Structure 1
């Protein structure tokens, strides 16, 4: 039987990215029919990718945004999900830690120029060699993102439950509000999304990844957070609520 670590492991290969110059145009041209709208980057590990349920929370989030009359463009070098998912692009990398995302994020941000970023990362750090150092690594990653794209909105989530490591998860998650507040105090556009509170252990399929119900709860939490900041998915005049 596969271990929990093996369940998280996945393909680490990155899709070839266009250069930063003209990146937005190149991205749109590479995906015919891409809707012009606020560029939203789902960023993280296999939970962003949608392990167990291809597309994961992005399915429910897309449906909610479309139903609200909001036009967005999911962006990223990865792509997966059902044909019913109107935009399958994302930046979710199975098995990756905070450090892995941090080592690559500047290139992704330059390539896709997201105006809104949905960051859920840290799950693989919890049972790694240094879970205690995860908050500092996350703070470094967040600062890198907000320094490079100070006009973009960053929604930073606490990580979803890991029943076998619950106390470690709680300790890690408890540091995230402070990371967000430090950014807000510095005038950065960062908002907290309490994803841990949105799910229960019953929403976890294999001890690590959400099931379909759990992913839909994640979608609802992201959507609620985005609705609270109209500029994150469009101007107040164009982004309608459900």
Structure 2
């Protein structure tokens, strides 16, 4: 096929796949497809290196619990198999640097929930004693800009060579944060320090995979204790699950696969999966399903029925600028 003809076909497919299905109940689709926007916010401990930090296991826990959550932020990294890689974890940054940028991020991404772990780089800076005051001002700025957001602020994890300084910081910030909560602000204290032992910090600062997994468990418990912070769990009728993964990437696009599973003892006869793509991305090709909106996928004729404990898959190609990622996917069955 000639290049001009291929381009025309690709454009036609994009239009067909992104157009809403005729007769669809768009208001229902929009409500169900709207995930809770969660912003992981902090420094390199939030970014998590090539393994995705605590975000990897936290996302897995949320999806397993049927929570429709989308991590948001201007950065996107982690392993290519990680379904949702967006965040605001900036390696080397201090409280003041986060403070200088946070209003713009909040306006851009409008998170419903914020996970803040910050202060590590202040501990070996020029003024560690002033860090609690700086954190207090940062949290005030966040709650002023986003008063309806749930703001989870954690004590920082240990530093092998600065443990006393970390302990002093943590003991100072807890009463400051609790006072804000008592004043009616949506601030929640998360005690992260005891969760990660020094043995899980290979360089004395950053956790290994085991340490990040422990952080994820603490975040998940805190989120689960605050109604609405991660949405509602899947309803009893929504018996299927959807697990997306990025299979390959290239400049200007990526290929992904989604596994739709039926973990129940009864067969399902049809399924609908909803997820989000990075801004500017659209689905340009799909197999094993029928796409509409941004983005809703229903089963193809041949894979709608899934036996008990069975699964089906569909795949797609998305095109657009920036890093490849897939927001948290939800599944409903019929």
Alignment TM class, shorter chain as reference: 0.7 to 0.9
Matches within 5 A, 1:41-120: 41-51=39-49, 53-120=50-117
Determine the C-alpha separation between the residues in 2 that align with 1:210 and 1:185.
Answer: 32
CA displacement 1:93-142 (0-9 Å, x = unmatched): 00000000000000000000000000000000000000000000000000
Matched-pair contact (CA < 8 Å) for 1:230–1:236 = no
Q: TM-score, normalised by structure 1?
A: 0.82
**1:179: Cα distance to partner?**
1.9
Residue 139 of structure 2: SS of its match in structure 1? helix
Partner of 1:194: 191
Higher strand share: 2
Query: Alignment RMSD, CA only?
Result: 1.6
Determine the C-alpha separation between the residues in 1 that align with 2:144 and 2:233.
Answer: 25
For structure 2, the residue ranges without an aligned partner over 5 or more in a row are 1-32, 239-334
Determine the C-alpha separation between the residues in 2 that align with 1:81 and 1:190.
Answer: 28
CA displacement 1:58-80 (0-9 Å, x = unmatched): 00000000000001010000000
Is the radius of gyration larger for structure 1 or structure 2?
2
For structure 1, the residue ranges without an aligned partner over 5 or more in a row are 1-34
Determine the C-alpha separation between the residues in 2 that align with 1:67 and 1:237.
Answer: 10
Query: Following superposition, which runs of at least 4 residues in structure 1 exceed 2 angstroms of deviation?
Result: 235-240
Partner of 2:172: 175
Aligned length: 205
Of 80-89 and 159-168, more deviation after overlay is shown by: 80-89
Partner of 1:14: none
Q: TM-score, normalised by structure 2?
A: 0.59
Higher helix share: 1
Determine the C-alpha separation between the residues in 2 that align with 1:99 and 1:123.
Answer: 12
